Amino acid sequence: MKSFFLLLPFFFLSFLNSRSSINLSPPKTGSVKITCVNTVKGKPLELNSGKYINSFGEEYSISKFKYYISQVSLQRGKAVFWEPENFHLIDEGNADALHFSFALSAGNYDALNFMLGVDSIHNVSGAQSGALDPLNDMFWTWNNGYVMAKIEGYSPQANIVNNKFEFHIGGFMGENNVLKNIALNFPAGKTLNIQEGKTSEIIIEADIDAWWQQPNDIKIARHPVCSSPGPLAKKIADNYIKMFSIKDVVNNYN
Amino acid sequence: MKTRIIILLCLCSSLAVLLISAADNRSVHFADGKLPDYIEFKIPAGWPKPPTDIFAKNRLSEQGFQLGKKLFYDTRLSKDGSNISCANCHQQFAAFATYDHDFSHGLNDQHTTRNAPALFNLAWMTKYHWDGGINHIEVQPLSPITSPTEMAETLENILNKLKKDSAYPKMFKAAFGTAEINSQRMLKALAQFTGSIVSSNSKYDKVLRGEATFTYSEQNGYAVFKAKCAACHAEPLFTDNSLRNNGLPINEYLKDYGSMKITGKPEDSLKFKVPSLRNVSVSFPYMHDGRFYSLGAVIEHYRNGITVQPTLDPLLTKKIDITNTQKNELIYFLNTLTDTSMTKNPRFAK
């Protein structure tokens, strides 16, 4: 009995130690900034004005390009360091919505992981705020769920009103699930290095050209609109999963 | 002595743990200490618990309810000049359905394509709309608010209008702790109002509680109901909240395939939500497209009108055998499901 009481203060100490707010030896932290550069065939995307051609010879321009990034983590060997739960709506039309930052313990990291989309729980949990606010025009009001990624634009091959094509890709349940885990290695010879009180940056490239092919041929003439979960959305998501790569890592720039 | 020190240490550590947890649980939203008056959502005696607690992350309070009620009756939730509030299509005296309309009127008198459902006992539902496409009570208003044929307004415009109002910032503060007006708070307040509308005090309920008695015809009608209708319209909610194909021939103009539009699955073709029969005598017309204007016409459908379709509900593959006398008695019984303490309750009125 006595020995149990003797141990209690140690339980308490270990309890304190497990809480980050009252950590006995706070880890050194810096921060990582993740910047998304949206491109078409490697060239910076120019909303509305840029003219592009897909692999089927279809001409198009892009008026909207938005997607959700969540469950972000960095890897050091097999150890995984998560950003606290957060959702980032990357929006080519809003310069403030092309990057985000979070605190990270000091050290080296060799890979970046994230989810493209919004996990199923947040699709069914009622009114959300911040990046998930329905104000952001990424929530289906008639068939509830988030649009995980969307492009809209114009193409002479889009044989519908105003030649406007739109791909709103969503679906979080069962066979219609388009949630994608993305794992990206850093370019050869690059490592993310975080130092106390400093910021390092990872530059991600997202290339719209990936939406049109491999493994699935998506021709605008045949599919000018995708606006609900289902087989077409899944095919497009299977294409766009490959749009991401890490362009550069810039260590400790301030 | 040693023991005392140990006990003291233990006490101190427990105290510290308590303090830390208390600090964690403090409400950051109510920094000035003015908590709203929280209300307990009461489940009527003998009723099942709701399948999910719609107020679990939206704690019901008097201030939240009042804010939701003001929003429900506010025409600023629709495009300027259209003067449409939620209550235009959800009229309290019609159990919050649209009285005597197959389709409701939206912006510029455009028609909706489905009959406005009655609003009560929503806390027991996990899916909303005739096709089950809405998965949470809080996000339902987004659909009528933004639909171009209904209220035709953007969330952004609505929030701007509310922010300019003299009363709303104070009401948001009272309900949520700060005067910030955002879509999440607006939707949560609306859910506090609509989710609080409970209908559990009809003559039928009073009979079950021993406070009233059925007439001879009502009693017979209740027996018919239990034998012929209760498999889908299960007591005490008078619906099992499932989606089923009840054998209505498709309206060739609307071509509404119901749940299939949501799930994309052929097996869900022509399935619609089973509505509650509570308050059914004031919430006519009936069915997802309001095609039947009387209970007699509805019963006639189940007696003789069912169309055989691949997805027809297995319970309806045989016509429901109801005599003319039973039909009349059934209607007498259904009339006992009207709950004027809900349809005339000033608490839910503008």
Interchain pair B146, A141: CB under 8 A: yes
Residue A18: per-residue pLDDT: 44
Residues of A whose CB is below 8 A from B3: 2, 5
pLDDT digits (tens, 9 = 90+) for A128-141: 999 999 999 999 99
Q: What is the mean pLDDT of residues A52-78?
A: 97
Locate the DSSP E strands across chain B: 243-244, 272-273
Interchain pair A125, B57: CB under 8 A: yes
Q: What is the mean pLDDT of residues A155-179?
A: 96
| pLDDT of B13 over the 80 cut | no
Size of interface A-B (CB pairs under 8 A): 84
For residue B56, the chain A residue with the least C-alpha distance is A125
Residue A27: per-residue pLDDT: 81
**Percent of the residues in chain B that have a pLDDT greater than 70, as a whole number:** 91
For residue A135, the chain B residue with the least C-alpha distance is B155
Residue A252: per-residue pLDDT: 84
Residue B17: per-residue pLDDT: 43
For B:148-167, CB contacts with A below 8 A are 155-156, 159
Q: What is the mean pLDDT of residues A96-118?
A: 97
For residue A5, the chain B residue with the least C-alpha distance is B6
pLDDT digits (tens, 9 = 90+) for B207-261: 999 999 999 999 999 999 999 999 999 999 999 999 999 999 999 999 999 999 9
Confidence of residue B33 (pLDDT cuts 50, 70, 90): confident
Residue A24: per-residue pLDDT: 57
**Percent of the residues in chain A that have a pLDDT greater than 70, as a whole number:** 90
Q: What is the mean pLDDT of residues A157-173?
A: 97
Interchain pair B139, A144: CB under 8 A: yes
Residue A143: per-residue pLDDT: 95
Instruction: Extract the tokens encoding A143.
Output: 């068939």
Q: What is the mean pLDDT of residues A160-189?
A: 96
Which amino acid is located at B240 in the chain?
A: D
Q: What is the mean pLDDT of residues A54-71?
A: 98
Confidence of residue B2 (pLDDT cuts 50, 70, 90): low
| pLDDT of B106 over the 50 cut | yes
pLDDT digits (tens, 9 = 90+) for B70-96: 999 999 999 998 999 999 999 999 999
Estimate the crossing angle of helix B183-196 against helix B155-164, to 10 degrees: 90
State the CB neighbour count (10 A cutoff) for residue A141.
18
Residues of A whose CB is below 8 A from B57: 125-126
| pLDDT of A155 over the 90 cut | yes
pLDDT digits (tens, 9 = 90+) for A212-245: 999 999 999 999 999 999 999 999 999 999 999 9
Residues of A whose CB is below 8 A from B156: 135
For residue B132, the chain A residue with the least C-alpha distance is A143
| pLDDT of A69 over the 50 cut | yes
Its ipTM equals 0.87
| pLDDT of A13 over the 90 cut | no
| pLDDT of B50 over the 90 cut | yes
For chain B, what is the mean pLDDT?
93
3-state secondary structure of B235: coil
Give the C-alpha separation, B301 to B310, whole Å: 18
| pLDDT of B1 over the 60 cut | no
Residue B13 touches partner A, C-beta closer than 8 Å = yes
Residue B260 touches partner A, C-beta closer than 8 Å = no
For residue A123, the chain B residue with the least C-alpha distance is B135
3-state secondary structure of B168: helix
Residue A41: per-residue pLDDT: 98
Interchain pair B138, A127: CB under 8 A: yes
Residue B48: per-residue pLDDT: 97
Give the C-alpha separation, B101 to B286, whole Å: 10
**Candidates B183, B256, B261, partner chain A, best to mutate (most A CBs within 10 A):** B183
Residue B26: per-residue pLDDT: 36
Q: Can you give the pTM of this predicted structure?
A: 0.89
- Which is more confidently placed, B33 or B97? B97
Contact A132, A146 (CB under 8 A): yes
| pLDDT of A152 over the 70 cut | yes
* Residue in A12, A127, A145 closest to B184 by CB: A127
Q: What is the mean pLDDT of residues B288-316?
A: 97
Q: 């349809």: which residue's tokens? A: B343
| pLDDT of A16 over the 80 cut | no
For B:23-42, CB contacts with A below 8 A are none
* Residue in B17, B188, B262 closest to A12 by CB: B17
| pLDDT of B54 over the 80 cut | yes
Q: How far is B304 from chain A (nearest CA, A)?
A: 34
pLDDT digits (tens, 9 = 90+) for B162-206: 999 999 999 999 999 999 999 999 999 999 999 999 999 999 999
Smallest CA-to-CA distance from A201 within A254, A123, A124, A242 is with: A254
| pLDDT of A22 over the 70 cut | no
Residue A17: per-residue pLDDT: 44
- Asked if the peptide bond before residue B236 counts as cis, ω within 30 degrees of 0, the response is yes
Residue A253: per-residue pLDDT: 75
| pLDDT of B49 over the 80 cut | yes
CA dist A73 → A84, A88, A103, A180, B65 (Å): 9, 13, 11, 14, 40
Residue B207: per-residue pLDDT: 98
Q: How far is B185 from chain A (nearest CA, A)?
A: 8
Instruction: Extract the tokens encoding B131.
Output: 């096709």
**Candidates B4, B5, B21, B135, partner chain A, best to mutate (most A CBs within 10 A):** B135
B160-165 LR contacts (CB < 8 Å, sep 24+): B161/B76, B162/B76, B162/B186, B165/B76
Q: How far is A174 from chain B (nearest CA, A)?
A: 10
Interchain pair A5, B3: CB under 8 A: yes
* Poorest-pLDDT segment among A62-76, A108-122, A175-189, B5-19: B5-19
